[in-house]
């Protein structure tokens, strides 16, 4: 079965309690469980990773990317300034989708720029946790067409 990485950056371990007016009530554990159910239907295997550390995220991407068919990443605040995450994604030559729970374009100006999006297939934002499912559907279709 094709395997997809689902990577979440800083503070996303606090989903469910963190700024619930913006990010909603779902915990990361609940979100991952939902994604696993969807992945089973789509015949995809998921590997989850969350870290609050930029270096750990990069180490994970470097180690796992050569062995998988795609990656869904929510780089959280690193989206807006981490050239190192951007370079890690560009280096591994993998189809990557950037996902955000909130609609960045309705928020502070510093959130409206992603330094990561230019090296991704695309960016999904503003659909809450459903954005991750949308990204998974993309991979399901894209892999079938290969
Ligand atoms: C976020 C948006 C980022 O600006 C923020 O720093 C996050 C979460 C989102 O999913 O909406 O931590 O990536």
Place of tokens 């991704």: 120
Residues within a 6 A CB radius of ligand 1: 11, 74, 76-77, 79, 100-102, 111
Number of the ligand 1 atom closest to the C-alpha atom of 99:
10
Catalytic residue set: 23, 100
Nearest CA to ligand 1 atom 8: 76
**Residue owning the nearest CA to atom 6 of ligand 1:** 77
Nearest CA residue ID for atom 9, ligand 1: 100
Ligand 1 centroid – CA 91 distance (Å): 23
The three-state secondary structure class of 66 is helix
User: 45-87, pLDDT tens digit by residue?
Assistant: 999 999 999 999 999 999 999 999 999 999 999 999 999 999 9
Locate the ligand 1 atom nearest the alpha carbon of residue 74 and give its number.
13
> Which CATH entry fits the domain spanning 3-145: 3.40.50.300, 3.40.50.720, 3.40.50.9100, 3.30.499.10?
3.40.50.9100
Please list the pLDDT of the chain residue by residue as tens digits (146 residues).
999 999 999 999 999 999 999 999 999 999 999 999 999 999 999 999 999 999 999 999 999 999 999 999 999 999 999 999 999 999 998 999 999 999 999 999 999 999 999 999 999 999 999 999 999 999 999 999 88
Give the start-to-end residue ranges of the domains of the chain: 3-145
Instruction: Characterize 102-133 residue by residue with b for buried, 16 or more Cβ atoms within 10 angstroms of its Cβ, and e for exposed.
Output: bebeeeeeebeebbbbebbbebbbeebbebbb
Assigned token pair, 9:
């950056």
Q: Report the separation in Å between the CA atom of 134 and the middle of ligand 1, taken as the mean of its atom positions.
A: 17
Assess contact for 28 and 94: CB atoms under 8 A.
no
**What pTM did the predictor assign?**
0.98
Q: Of 77, 87, 75, 85, which Cα lies nearest the Cα of 110?
A: 77
């Amino acid at each position: 079965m094709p395997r997809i990485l689902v990577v979440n950056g800083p503070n996303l371990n606090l989903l469910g309690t963190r700024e619930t007016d913006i990010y909603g009530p779902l915990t990361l554990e609940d979100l991952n469980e939902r994604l696993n159910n969807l992945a089973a239907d789509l015949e995809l295997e998921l590997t989850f990773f969350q870290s609050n550390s930029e270096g750990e995220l990069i180490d994970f991407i470097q180690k796992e990317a050569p062995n998988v068919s795609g990656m869904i990443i929510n780089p959280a605040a690193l989206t807006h300034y981490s050239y190192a995450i951007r370079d890690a994604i560009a280096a591994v030559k993998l189809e990557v989708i950037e996902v955000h729970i909130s609609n960045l374009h309705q928020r502070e100006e510093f959130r409206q720029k992603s330094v990561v999006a230019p090296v991704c297939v695309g960016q999904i934002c503003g659909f809450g946790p459903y954005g991750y499912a949308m990204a998974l559907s993309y991979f399901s279709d894209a892999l079938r067409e290969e």
